[in-house]
Structure 1
Amino acid sequence: MKTVAGTARSGSWSLVFADFKEITKARLAVSVVFSSIAGYLLGAYNVDLRSLLLLAFGGYCMVGASNAYNQVIERDLDALMSRTKNRPIPSGRMSVNKALAIAIVLTLLGVVSLYVLNPKTAMFGAISIFLYTSVYTPLKTKTPLSVFVGAFPGAIPFMLGWVAATNDFGIEPGTLFMIQFFWQFPHFWALGWMLDDDYRKGGFKMLPTGKKDKGTALQIIMYTIWMMVISVIPVFGITGRLELSVPAATLVFLMGCVMLFFAFRLFEKRDNGSARKLMLASVSYITLMQIVYVIDKFV
């Protein structure tokens, strides 16, 4: 009997943990924490393990809180879409009050953790939550400009790491912000292209022209080019302490060319398969670009 009871408890906790990961979108949160850590390493004069842990914990809490608030607000719309109907709230596994409590606790933990690093870091973290939940989320059913608004909180993590390391906001974190800001447009429009039919069930307007057409594909190409340009600007020595060697800039540019290739393929074929390849290429780009930046600084 004890073994059965223990197994039941173990299974119950596994479900609770799985729902927590789902309500906070753990995979996305971890990728955001990775960006923050990359920004920290770029800005730090000396790497401090305590600061890194506070940044990672606080960053996860802030992203997790934003996602939990989002799922509370969009619970009825999530129930209409195939990709979201099994989330904890619309499936009935988690109550709205419980999800809201999780969001509030994560907000407090995140703000406090980031404030211990410095007040500027906590301020930017709080701004990201506010913009994501109070501006971006309501706009998703109103206008395709929601992607533009959502790009602001989405671009904060890379910059946030630098601010956490230096307690300063200047040209360096501003450049990191702009790189991730422009990257988000091809990334989310490729994702929006793939999921357009499902998004329409929830009333979400994610594509810039509202259609999977050449106009949307052309804008994806344009924003990819802007992303590539800004990603190599540090090689010219005009971004303060944020520097990039010629070999590293060349590598980053070539990685951008790969992403641009898939953007042109989407323009040519205008199908979900091409959009998926672009989306995957964009995920690889942002991760590898940040790794190249960090390695280039220390090597």
Structure 2
Amino acid sequence: MNSVSAIENKAVLKSIFFDFKQLTKVGLSISVVFTSITGYLLGADIINYTTIILLAVGGYLMVGASNAFNQVIEKDIDAVMQRTKNRPLPSGRMKPLVALTIATIFTIAGIVILYAINPKCALFGAISIFLYTSVYTPLKAVTPLAVFVGAIPGAIPFMLGWVAATGQFGIEAGFLFMIQFFWQFPHFWAIGWLQFEEYNKAGLHMLPMDKKDNGAIVQMIFYTCVMILVSVAPVLKVSSKLYIFPVTAAVVAVLGGLMLYYAIQLYKSHQNTDARKLMLASVFYITVVPIIYVIDKFLH
């Protein structure tokens, strides 16, 4: 009997842990933490491991809180879509009050931990949570412009690392912000293309002009080009202490070119397979480019 009870308890704990991971989107949160740490390494003259730990924990809590609030607000919308209907809230496995409590605790703890690094980090963390939950999330059901608003909190992590290292928001942090800001348009519009029918069914506006057409792809191509230009601009020494070697700029341009290639392929084909390739290329880009920047810095 005890062994049966132990197995049941283990299954319950496993289910709770799985739901917690889904609510806070652990994979996304970890990728944000990774980007923040690369931003820190770019800005730091001397690496402080305590600051890195605080940044990792505070960043994780910040993103986890935003995702939890988002799922509380969108639980009815999530129930409509195939991709999200099995999340903890729409499936009924978790009560909204529990999710709200987790989100609130994460928000307070995240901001306090980021404040321990410096006040600017806490401010940007608070802005990120506010914009994502109070502006971006409700706007998705109103206008495609929601993606532009959502790109602001989405672009904070890379820049947040630099601010954690230096205590300053200057032109260098601005460039890191812009790289991640412009990256998000081809990335999220590729997802919007793939999930167009699902989003449409749920009443969410995730493509420009709400149409799966060439106009949307032209915007993906345009913002990919802007992202590439901003990403290689530090080679011109226009971003103060943030400088990259010409060979680094060439590698970054090639990686951006891969995204551009798939965006052009999508323009020609309108096939979901090409939209998926663009989305995957964008994930590869935002994972590898910060690493390349850090390697470049340590070669100076």
TM-score (norm 1): 0.99
Alpha-carbon distance in structure 1 between the residues aligned to 2:16 and 2:112? 25
What's the offset of the Cα at 1:88?
0.2
Pairing of 1:92-111 with structure 2 (within 5 A):
92-111=92-111
Alpha-carbon distance in structure 2 between the residues aligned to 1:55 and 1:7? 37
Alpha-carbon distance in structure 2 between the residues aligned to 1:106 and 1:147? 24
What's the offset of the Cα at 1:2?
2.7
Q: Give SS of 1:50's match.
A: helix
Alpha-carbon distance in structure 2 between the residues aligned to 1:265 and 1:78? 31
Which of 9-18 and 255-264 deviates more?
9-18
Alpha-carbon distance in structure 2 between the residues aligned to 1:62 and 1:127? 10
Match of 2:268? 268
Q: Give SS of 2:87's match.
A: coil
What's the offset of the Cα at 1:209?
2.2
Alpha-carbon distance in structure 2 between the residues aligned to 1:67 and 1:271? 30
Match of 2:150? 150
Match of 2:187? 187
Match of 2:8? 8
Pairing of 1:134-283 with structure 2 (within 5 A):
134-283=134-283
What's the offset of the Cα at 1:6?
2.0
Match of 1:87? 87
Which of 187-196 and 209-218 deviates more?
209-218
Task: Please tell me the root mean square deviation across aligned C-alpha atoms, in Å.
Answer: 0.7
Match of 1:119? 119
Structure 2 residue identity aligned to 1:45 = D
Match of 2:295? 295
What's the offset of the Cα at 1:202?
1.0
1:53 aligns with 2:53: yes
Alpha-carbon distance in structure 1 between the residues aligned to 2:188 and 2:220? 10
Q: Give SS of 1:209's match.
A: helix
What's the offset of the Cα at 1:3?
2.4
Alpha-carbon distance in structure 1 between the residues aligned to 2:284 and 2:164? 25
Match of 1:37? 37
Alpha-carbon distance in structure 2 between the residues aligned to 1:238 and 1:215? 32
Structure 2 residue identity aligned to 1:226 = V
Moved over 4 A (4+): none
Alpha-carbon distance in structure 2 between the residues aligned to 1:269 and 1:282? 19
Could you list the runs of 5+ residues in structure 1 that have no partner in the other structure? none
What's the offset of the Cα at 1:109?
1.0
Alpha-carbon distance in structure 2 between the residues aligned to 1:95 and 1:290? 38
Match of 1:64? 64
Structure 2 residue identity aligned to 1:79 = A
Alpha-carbon distance in structure 2 between the residues aligned to 1:197 and 1:25? 23
Structure 1 residue identity aligned to 2:199 = Y
Q: Give SS of 2:155's match.
A: helix
Alpha-carbon distance in structure 1 between the residues aligned to 2:5 and 2:118? 46
Match of 1:130? 130
Q: What fraction of aligned residue pairs are identical, expressed as a percent?
A: 59
Alpha-carbon distance in structure 2 between the residues aligned to 1:44 and 1:69? 32
What's the offset of the Cα at 1:9?
1.7
What's the offset of the Cα at 1:128?
0.2
Q: Give SS of 2:188's match.
A: helix
Alpha-carbon distance in structure 1 between the residues aligned to 2:28 and 2:102? 17
Could you list the runs of 5+ residues in structure 2 that have no partner in the other structure? none
Structure 2 residue identity aligned to 1:252 = V
Deviations along 1:198-252, one digit per CA (max 9) or x if unpaired, are 1111100110021110000101000000000000011011101111011111100
Alpha-carbon distance in structure 1 between the residues aligned to 2:258 and 2:77? 35
